[in-house]
Amino acid sequence: MFFGGISGSAAADTAAVGSIMIPAMIKRGYRPAFANAVIASSGSLGVIIPPSIPMIIFGFLTGASISKLFAAGILPGILIGLSLMAVSLAICWKSGLHERTSFSIRRLVKTFWDAKWALATPVIVLSGILAGVFTATEAASIATLYALFVGLFIHKELDIADLPELFLKGSVTASVVLFIISAASVFSWVMAIEQIPSMIAQSLFSLTKDPVLLLLIINIVLLIVGTFVETTAALILFVPIIMKVFPQLGIDITQLGMIIVLNLAIGMLTPPLGICLIVACGISGERIEATSRAVLPFLLVIIANLLLVTYWSPISMWLPSLLK
């Protein structure tokens, strides 16, 4: 959840946190598939907790306020994060994977104090974007420069000589994701040329004019689409089609954006194009089949949260309403 306030990308969230946490979890006795499932499912928060790249694309396609979209993602992101924590806790207690350690307020306060420079990153990013000091794209550069400065001169865990190796490792990690996205983009291009998304969506949306059923159809279509189509391509292909029935939905465009982004975030957990699953498996070396089974409880909980966001607007619309 914290890292989701920095990256704006589910794949980046999964790779950055997973590279540290997955080996640590496996070393402490957790099954690799479970470790992957925890990291991959929580990695999907990267596009829900602002800033979010898909929200920026949705705002560009529809003219919706990106600041409001960002605000709309905060409460659903926290709700999903807490839900995933509950699932993790239940699975660990059921399987006996838990350790009893004494709780210490002093240790908690000290840990947060030691991490203050790192925890300031999402504060800088979000406050700067919501206040209009810089754009979401500029925020990425500012966050990178801030992290580099802290690593080099405050924590002093980095050295100038380390940077070429770090850039190389980052490029390798990014290249895996980009190869998957490029292949998915070709597939999306073929679908667009054949007008398959348009035919499917229009035939489904013509079945009813009831807003409740239309929202349910949108969710079903996007859940299926997210399984096969890369997020950016899915937004470009389907948002214009969904906007044709938008007046019949009876909801704010900000809430619609939140629904669409949340659906596509779920698609990042479902094979064959579950980018978060692929990244997590790449870190642990576990087979994607085992991870896909382990992620099912987390997936069901996120879908339940999706229905809450769809049919109870205050979850996503309360904070944006304050920006008025």
Model confidence over 110-162: pLDDT tens digits?
A: 998 988 888 888 788 777 876 778 776 787 788 888 988 998 888 888 888 88
Asked whether residue 116 is assigned to any structural domain, the reply reads no
Tokens, residue 302 = 């996120």
> Residue type for 35, please?
A
Establish if 137 belongs to a structural domain. no
Q: Count of H helices and E strands in the chain?
A: 17, 0
**Does the residue 198 lie in any domain?**
yes
Q: Is residue 145 part of a domain?
A: no
Q: How far apart are CA 71 and CA 179, in angstroms?
A: 32
Q: Are 276 and 43 in contact (CB under 8 A)?
A: yes
Q: Does 134 fall in a domain?
A: no
* pLDDT value for 98: 65
Q: Tell me the C-alpha distance between 202 and 14, whole Å.
A: 34
Roughly what angle, to the nearest 10 degrees, separates helices 275-284 and 163-193? 140
- Within a domain: residue 105? no
**What would the pLDDT profile of 235-263 be if each residue is shown by its tens digit?**
887 888 888 788 888 889 999 999 999 99
- Number of structural domains found in the chain: 1
Q: What is the pLDDT of residue 271?
A: 81
CB-based burial, 295-324: b 16+ in 10 Å, e otherwise: beebbebbeebbeebbeebebbbebbeeee
The pair of structure tokens assigned to 242 is 């969904």
Range of the structural domain that residue 66 is part of: 4-98+163-322
Residue 218 lies in a domain: yes
Q: Tokens for 204, please give them.
A: 């489904």
Is position 167 within any domain?
yes
Question: What does the pLDDT read at residue 261?
Answer: 93
pLDDT at 75: 93
* Sign, Cα dihedral of 152, 158, 163, 168: negative
Over residues 165-182, the pLDDT tens digits come to 888 887 886 776 677 667
Instruction: State how far the Cα of 39 lies from the Cα of 208, in Å rounded to an integer.
Output: 38
Burial of 291 (0-12, 13-18, 19+ CB in 10 A): buried
